[in-house]
Structure 1
Amino acid sequence: MRMAIIGAGGIAVCMAKTIAEMDNVEAYAIGSRSQEKADRFAEEYGFQKAYGSYEELVKDENVDLVYIATPHSEHFANAKLCIQHGKPVLCEKSFTANAKQARELIAMAEKAGVFITEAIWVRYMPMLQTIRKELESGSIGEPKLLTANLGYVAADSYRMRTPELAGGALLDVGVYPLNFALMIFGTDIAKVTSTCTYMDTGVDEQNSAALVYEDGKMAVINSSVLVFSDRKGIIHGTKGSMVIENINNFESLTVYDGEHKEIKHIERPAQISGYEYEVEACMRALETGALECPEMPHAETIRVMDILDGMRAEWGIRYPFE
């Protein structure tokens, strides 16, 4: 599969390094708004083609899949451009800036018969199935409460601070604890209550939310760009608890009994970076002619964006372009 990347920043570098080690994936084209930057990227990471505009890249008939690695504010326009030129899309999380954009993009892709999926990498990792299988085994009893957090010190980042780029902790960091809750407890949510603190630019710097489920389960999630958190996801059950190390790239799970004694520990399998799983999922989908990945269906992407929109509405945060 000849893969192209739109955007030549840090996330693009991670993907470029990953596909360089993958079988059956070719680092084909890089697109940047600067020809000089595209040329440097192509030379450093072994891409065949370097384009100084996204429009040039999507016109290349040899591109099989485009990975969008631009700021959240640009995802809608970038993905729309790809769809208009019939190019399958792997779009970095958060999928778009809001649910309206997500619905429009997905409807456009489905009408055009073009594949598109969200690159929320944890959804595609084999460790997720290991976690679910362990929960189904009953080792911690009936799960009733979940806590998850993710925090990095990144408040000084221009992208993170800028409302015009859909900055803030929520879309960049908060999407992981939310996805963790949805992956583990499902989507039958009765109520979401949330709060945040603000940067001087008006976007959120820290946030917390409580998700109450119809059957009484609760998920409490936190994210921040002010602190380094422990990144843990903890699932509390009637017989014990399960601790997941690093909800941003599952590292291990540990099961504890009701007396807090460790009874099982499972490490994740060897991986390149973790990005490879979403690329492999795209390859499987494209081979069968599917327009979405079962690991992250379109309906689930829209559901996540709806919840994020609801949280921002509660905080009174709107991006300038909305």
Structure 2
Amino acid sequence: MSMLNGRRDEAERTGRKVNVAILGAGSIANTMATTLVKMAEDSRYSSWIHPYAVAARDKGRAEAFAAKYGFDTAYGSYADMAADDNVDLVYIATPHNFHAEQAIMCLKAGRNVLVEKAFTANAAQARALLNVAEETGLLATEAIWTRYQPSRDLINELVHSGELGTIRSVRAELSYELHGRDRITNPDLAGGALLDVGVYALNFIDMAVGADHGRSIADIVTTMVPYSTGVDATNTTVLTYDDGLLATATSSRAVASDRSGVICGDNGYAVVTNINNPERIDVYNTDHSPRHSIAVPEQLTGYEYEVAAAANAILDGRTECPEMPHADTLRIMELMDEIRGRWGLKYPFE
């Protein structure tokens, strides 16, 4: 590897950079590639983040991707990229059902991994992946960008400030139209709304009022409406916390929604615009009159924070990121397993 230890300031001093590679060349890989290019051009990141490689199952597709974004090299095999000692960090950008196998392959080849959400298809796969990360002493972290974004601290600061009073209820809604993508409806690919977008609603609740604030779930009520393939098209889950706080998470890949998060206290409430990439936080009085708004910092794409966190962890020799430690990933994966279990939804490979 070009870099296992050290610190960001040393990287900047020596000119050595964290080489980032992308495994997969689909739509989300393109978003990450755009992010890496912007980071390489931004003075905050350019001295220590480098867009290095891409791998796809088709060499021609990988070469076209690399040429489009100016990456150093392209691979027509995931294994060949994992064998490249110049790769410091691999971003896994494939469907959920492949994450565990591909991340484990990369770890065993000596590569740190940043794994797109959902981390894996189920908690058992997550544990297997994290066991390999522990054995190899390498970084494995989940790329759920809202965990790394500045908006997380802004929301937590608001809740901790007491301005809203005692928080009594929260709701998080994230839905997008179908788009006709096979990965959304195909059970073999761990399809369905829950792992694709519902994971954001559950993470929003976990950060805004749940584990970030010392609460634990006492009860779960959930339901879903399936596609003809059997995976969930639309779902709703109600979580009751140990102090009586009620949280509702709704997600769908059959309709679009306002994507809002609402945190309600006995002294006011806050509305977060777009829980998938928070744009602003509006605070209201109990009579619904506006109190004030909290601006979210301008960003490159929003993905830069997870890349920077992973790169810093590598430079510091850490195996997890504090923004999304392994315990948090496992807790959310176990929660989604529990929800699917109550629906009676199993994927064919389980």
- TM-score grouping bracket, smaller chain normalisation: over 0.9
Q: Report the counterpart of residue 35 of structure 2 in structure 1.
A: 18
Structure 1 stretches of 5 or more lacking a match?
A: none
Deviation at 1:87, TM superposition (A): 0.4
Q: 1:272 aligns with which of 300, 304, 315?
A: 300
Q: 1:157 aligns with which of 169, 181, 194?
A: 181
Deviations 1:3-39 (A, max 9, x none): 0000000000000001101123211110011101101
What SS is found at the alignment partner of 2:110?
coil
Q: Report the counterpart of residue 93 of structure 1 in structure 2.
A: 117
Q: In the alignment, is the contact (CA less than 8 A) between 1:152 and 1:226 conserved in 2? A: yes
Q: Report the counterpart of residue 231 of structure 2 in structure 1.
A: 203
Q: Report the counterpart of residue 217 of structure 2 in structure 1.
A: 189
Q: 2:286 aligns with which of 258, 263, 266?
A: 258
Q: Report the counterpart of residue 329 of structure 2 in structure 1.
A: 301
CA-atom RMSD in angstroms: 0.8
Deviation at 1:155, TM superposition (A): 5.9
Task: Name the CA distance, whole Å, in 2 between partners of 1:100 and 1:135.
Answer: 33
1:65-84 equivalences under 5 Å are 65-84=89-108
Q: 1:173 aligns with which of 197, 218, 236?
A: 197
Task: Name the CA distance, whole Å, in 2 between partners of 1:109 and 1:59.
Answer: 17
Task: Name the CA distance, whole Å, in 1 between partners of 2:317 and 2:55.
Answer: 26
Q: TM-score, normalised by structure 1?
A: 0.99
Q: In the alignment, is the contact (CA less than 8 A) between 1:139 and 1:255 conserved in 2? A: no
What SS is found at the alignment partner of 1:146?
strand
Deviation at 1:73, TM superposition (A): 0.7
What SS is found at the alignment partner of 1:172?
helix
Task: Name the CA distance, whole Å, in 2 between partners of 1:193 and 1:63.
Answer: 44
Deviations 1:270-309 (A, max 9, x none): 1000000000101111111110000000011000000101
Q: Report the counterpart of residue 33 of structure 1 in structure 2.
A: 57
Structure 1 position 7 matched with structure 2 position 24: yes
Identical positions, percent: 48
Q: Report the counterpart of residue 86 of structure 2 in structure 1.
A: 62
Task: Name the CA distance, whole Å, in 2 between partners of 1:13 and 1:192.
Answer: 37
Structure 1 position 316 matched with structure 2 position 316: no
Deviations 1:207-263 (A, max 9, x none): 000010011111101000111110000000010100000000010001101111111
Q: TM-score, normalised by structure 2?
A: 0.91
Q: Report the counterpart of residue 11 of structure 2 in structure 1.
A: none
Q: Report the counterpart of residue 220 of structure 1 in structure 2.
A: 248
Deviation at 1:267, TM superposition (A): 1.8
Structure 1 residue runs of 4+, over 6 Å off?
none
Task: Name the CA distance, whole Å, in 1 between partners of 2:333 and 2:159.
Answer: 27
Q: Aligned AA for 1:78?
A: Q
Number of residues of Structure 1 aligned to a counterpart in Structure 2: 322
Task: Name the CA distance, whole Å, in 1 between partners of 2:175 and 2:283.
Answer: 24
Q: Aligned AA for 2:69?
A: Y
Task: Name the CA distance, whole Å, in 2 between partners of 1:160 and 1:271.
Answer: 28
Structure 2 stretches of 5 or more lacking a match?
A: 1-17, 40-45
Shifted more, 255-264 versus 113-122: the winner is: 255-264
Task: Name the CA distance, whole Å, in 2 between partners of 1:19 and 1:74.
Answer: 23
What SS is found at the alignment partner of 2:38?
coil
Q: In the alignment, is the contact (CA less than 8 A) between 1:155 and 1:161 conserved in 2? A: no
Q: 1:139 aligns with which of 156, 159, 163?
A: 163
Q: Aligned AA for 1:269?
A: P
Deviation at 1:143, TM superposition (A): 0.9
